[in-house]
Amino acid sequence: MGFADITDIAFPWDLLVPFGDLARSHAGGIVDLSVGTPVDPTPQVLQNALAQSADSHGYPQTYGTPQLRDAVSGWFARRRNVANLDPRDVLPTVGSKELVALLPAMLSLGAGDIVVHPEIAYPTYDVGARLAGATPLPADDVEAWRGNERVKLVWVNSPGNPHGRVLGVSELKAIVEAAREIGALVVSDECYAELPWTEPFASEGVPSVLDPRVCGDNYTGVLVTYSLSKQSNLAGYRAAFVAGDSATIQGILALRKHLGMIVPGPVQDVMAVGLSDDSHVSVQREIYRARRSVMLRAIESAGLTVTSSEAGLYLWVRGNEAFVSAVSAPTRALVERAQREMPGACWLTVGYLAERGILVAPGAFYGAGGAEYVRVALTASDERIAVASERLSS
């Protein structure tokens, strides 16, 4: 697949624009719960770290500073039950999305190769495979690809976006074992791992694919990508990293040196501070917990069903016929136009909520399995969350 083929793929968020306009026309203004971008301030401790690193006159290290790589290793040991990660097996990235999109190409995958990703998933896993000329395979069941030597890369996303489902140790272990049998690389996108809500994950933590219970005593064929955007309100900093399999890290590092893909020096310093300070993460987690509680009660009181949503910044919500029967004729026309481009009952729920000034993301954006759901983000201010709750309740 060439450049033109990729750019011909419709950007799904464009389909949401008319519903955003409808929500903005509400007398009380829009409550935008569609995109999971942080709205709370970057913690002061991290703003201070950025200011202290403002004199950054030299080129930064593609490999990341020793302080940053040590901080990543320490964070894994302290927060993720991964005690023996060598700092040499850590590499900062410019956010995690660029890694997701470009990794298949960096691995020299192409025609005939298969990239597995979750059935309901962030679209970039699919786009990255196509960009490299490989074939994307949406599959949650390991048996769908077990023994298939064409599979070269297996994406895991836990906690998952959009639905917030968390994979347990046994599920992750089965994926790693099946991938190792055929020499495929497993990469786990764990960006929401610091935001668990339900048991046992709230008390025991979200399992990492680098956990020894999952991958044994070595990280061969296993990587984790992680972003500080969610835990630390650093979305604007593009602060992330990848860690794990030593040979793969070194290969990616060598290529990124040639490409000039470097995390800015001041951002590296902020990341080192952020990964060493758990207190600001705890504060932000409790803010999201409170917002989640308000929205969960309001959504369920409105007759909608919340499923999965075990962790992360979203509620995965299913509509019903009674809930959407009141959608007006003009809004139904918007719904029908959207459904022609991307089928799914989710658009009726999107329309109903947009009439009430609440904008959510249609589950169809994330694959056919999400066609009956909407994703409700918790990334709005307390005031806007309260407004959304009042509108749903009334």
Q: What is the per-residue DSSP string for 28-95? A: T--EE-SS----SPPPHHHHHHHHHT----SPPPTT--HHHHHHHHHHHHHHSS-----GGGEEEEET
The answer to whether 160 and 120 have CB atoms below 8 angstroms apart is: yes
> Cβ of 7: how many Cβ atoms within 10 Å?
8
Q: Which CATH architecture has domain 44-277?
A: 3-Layer(aba) Sandwich (3.40)
pLDDT for position 4: 44
Beta bridge partners of 305: 318
pLDDT for position 14: 85
pLDDT for position 5: 54
As a whole number of angstroms, the distance between CA 137 and CA 134 comes to 10
The answer to whether 108 and 233 have CB atoms below 8 angstroms apart is: no
Fold designation for 3-36+281-393: Aspartate Aminotransferase, domain 1 (3.90.1150)
The answer to whether 369 and 162 have CB atoms below 8 angstroms apart is: no
Residue 212 φ/ψ, nearest 5 degrees: -60, -25
pLDDT for position 1: 47
As a whole number of angstroms, the distance between CA 164 and CA 364 comes to 16
Give every residue of the chain whose pLDDT is below 50, as ranges: 1, 3-4
What residues does each domain of the chain span?
Answer: 3-36+281-393, 44-277
The answer to whether 279 and 44 have CB atoms below 8 angstroms apart is: no
The answer to whether 285 and 379 have CB atoms below 8 angstroms apart is: no
pTM: 0.92
CA 78 remoteness from chain centre: 22
The answer to whether 208 and 224 have CB atoms below 8 angstroms apart is: yes
